[in-house]
């Protein structure tokens, strides 16, 4: 047996034993939603395996399987980190449409449908590789890389979620660059003070007071030193093109450093001044249209 399945098996066993739902430090709304989702797990034993039902926050509600090296996260994790909220669930129950990109086995999306009663026709899922668990759902499934051309969906979505997927998806770009340059950093330190001024101005809404050449310099340095960022930008443009007006793109997981978020914000706002970029209080990056 190779190392990987053994490790996977061991992690699974540890996680399966953790049953306690710890709600400390969470606001009342998230506590209530997590309790509701935890309640659904107990009646959905035929839908979720024991590894997908862990209630323990210290393990991030994650499980893996022996066929991939990915960690997968259940609905409780995505509620804890506000990728999904009560308001979004209400909206989906009432007809809003969701696309989940990098959905893996769709633990969150299955909970939305089987637990919270969101109609399956309101949920579409997409991934580079389709996980076998998707065949046990009625969701419309799309297979593509988030960085390549997006398919025609017919209608725009109210919500496009990237549940713990962007960080994983950009890692091959980073690995290629780090290997080539024998250098590994996710922020650039060149012209540090200049770049920091632009970044701060972006987040404080005072970009109009910054000289255009300073902004251009910041964008150019980031594109040179963090060459995966233009891929992320194009990917977000594809997502925006498939988002309805008033909709939201929500991302969580290995979030981008604030320097990169400022780059994306400046570039997106240049052509779409109506777009909003917000770093949520508990992790998610929210882009609204
Ligand atoms: C850490 S898993 C998260 C899965 C699931 N959303 C969750 O919350 O458990 C990352 C997922 O991103 C997918 N992924 C990786 N690169 C991708 C790409 N370029 N385009 C679309 N999906 C990708 C992987 O196949 C995997 O299912």
- Write the DSSP assignment of 219-235 as a string of letters: HHHHHHH-TTHHHHHHH
Tell which atom from ligand 1 comes closest to the C-alpha of 146: 20
CA of 186 to the centre of ligand 1 (A): 20
Q: Is 70 in the pocket of ligand 1 (CB under 6 A)?
A: yes
Q: Which two tokens stand for residue 90?
A: 């209400």
| Nearest atom of ligand 1 to the alpha carbon of 71 | 1
pTM of the model: 0.90
pLDDT in the model for residue 61: 63
Residue matched to tokens 């060459």: 227
Q: Are 63 and 12 in contact (CB under 8 A)?
A: yes
Separation CA 151–CA 153 (nearest Å)? 6
Average pLDDT score over residue span 127-143: 94
Lowest-pLDDT choice from 55-69, 110-124, 168-182, 271-285: 55-69
The pLDDT of residue 19: 61
What is the structure's pLDDT at 65?
A: 66
Closest atom of ligand 1 to 100 CA is: 6
With contact defined as beta carbons under 8 Å apart, do 16 and 50 qualify? Answer: yes
Residue 18 in this model has a pLDDT that exceeds 70: no
Task: From 49, 61, 63, 70, give the residue whose CB has the most ligand 1 atoms within 8 Å, as the site to mutate.
Answer: 70
143 Cα: distance to centroid of ligand 1 (angstroms): 11
Contact, 66 vs 5, CB < 8 A?
yes
Please give the pLDDT value at position 17: 42
Nearest to 164 by CA among 252, 41, 227: 252
Q: Which residues of 64-76 are buried (b: 16+ CB within 10 A; e: fewer)?
A: bbeeeebbbbbbb
Mean pLDDT across 179-195? 84
Residue closest to 122 by CA, chosen among 107, 137, 139, 110: 139
Per residue in 54-95, pLDDT (tens digit) is 787 766 566 666 666 788 899 999 999 999 999 999 999 999
Q: What is the mean pLDDT of residues 23-29?
A: 91
The CA distance from 258 to 265, in Å, is 10
Question: Mean pLDDT over all residues of the chain?
Answer: 88
Q: What stretches of 25-101 show up as alpha helix (H) in DSSP? A: 28-43, 75-80, 86-93
- Say yes or no: CB of residue 109 within 6 Å of ligand 1: no
Give Cα separations from 44 to 54, 84, 138, 163, 207 (angstroms): 13, 20, 16, 21, 50
pLDDT in tens, 264-273: 999 999 888 8
**How large is the average pLDDT for residues 100-115?**
97
Whether residue 170 has its Cβ less than 6 Å from ligand 1: no
DSSP bridge pairs for 142:
126
> Residue 68 — φ and ψ, nearest 5°?
-130, 165
Grouping H, G, I as helix, E, B as strand and the rest as coil, residue 243 is strand
How confident is the model at residue 104, as a pLDDT?
Answer: 94
Predicted confidence (pLDDT) per residue in 189-237, tens digit? 888 899 999 999 999 999 999 999 999 999 999 999 999 999 999 999 9
Taking the centre of ligand 1 as the mean of its atom positions, its distance from the CA of residue 214, in whole angstroms, is 36
Supply the pLDDT for residue 58. Answer: 65
CA nearest ligand 1 atom 16, residue:
169
């Amino acid at each position: 047996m190779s190392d990987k399945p053994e490790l996977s098996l061991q992690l699974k066993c540890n996680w399966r034993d953790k049953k306690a739902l710890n709600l400390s430090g969470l606001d009342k709304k998230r506590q209530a939603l997590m309790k509701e989702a935890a309640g659904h797990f107990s009646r959905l034993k035929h839908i979720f395996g024991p590894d997908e039902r862990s209630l323990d926050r210290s393990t991030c509600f994650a499980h893996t399987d022996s066929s991939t090296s990915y960690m997968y996260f259940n609905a409780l994790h995505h509620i804890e980190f506000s990728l999904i909220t009560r308001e979004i669930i209400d909206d989906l129950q009432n007809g809003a449409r969701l696309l989940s990109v990098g959905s893996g086995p769709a633990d969150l999306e299955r909970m939305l449908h089987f637990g919270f009663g969101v109609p399956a026709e309101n949920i579409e899922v997409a991934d580079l590789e389709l996980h076998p668990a998707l065949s046990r759902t009625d969701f419309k499934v799309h297979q593509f890389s988030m960085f390549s051309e997006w398919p025609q969906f017919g209608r725009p979505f109210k919500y496009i979620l990237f549940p713990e997927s962007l960080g994983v998806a950009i890692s091959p770009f980073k690995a290629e660059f780090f290997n080539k340059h024998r250098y590994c950093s996710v922020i650039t330190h060149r012209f540090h003070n200049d770049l920091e001024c632009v970044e701060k101005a972006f987040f404080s809404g005072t970009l109009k007071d910054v000289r255009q050449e300073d902004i251009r310099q910041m964008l150019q340095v980031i594109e040179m030193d963090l060459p995966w960022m233009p891929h992320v930008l194009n990917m977000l443009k594809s997502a925006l093109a498939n988002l309805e007006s008033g909709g939201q793109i929500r991302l969580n997981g290995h979030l981008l450093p604030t320097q990169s978020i400022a780059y994306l914000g400046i570039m997106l706002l240049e052509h779409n001044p109506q777009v909003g970029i917000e770093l949520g209080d508990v992790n998610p990056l929210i882009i609204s249209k």
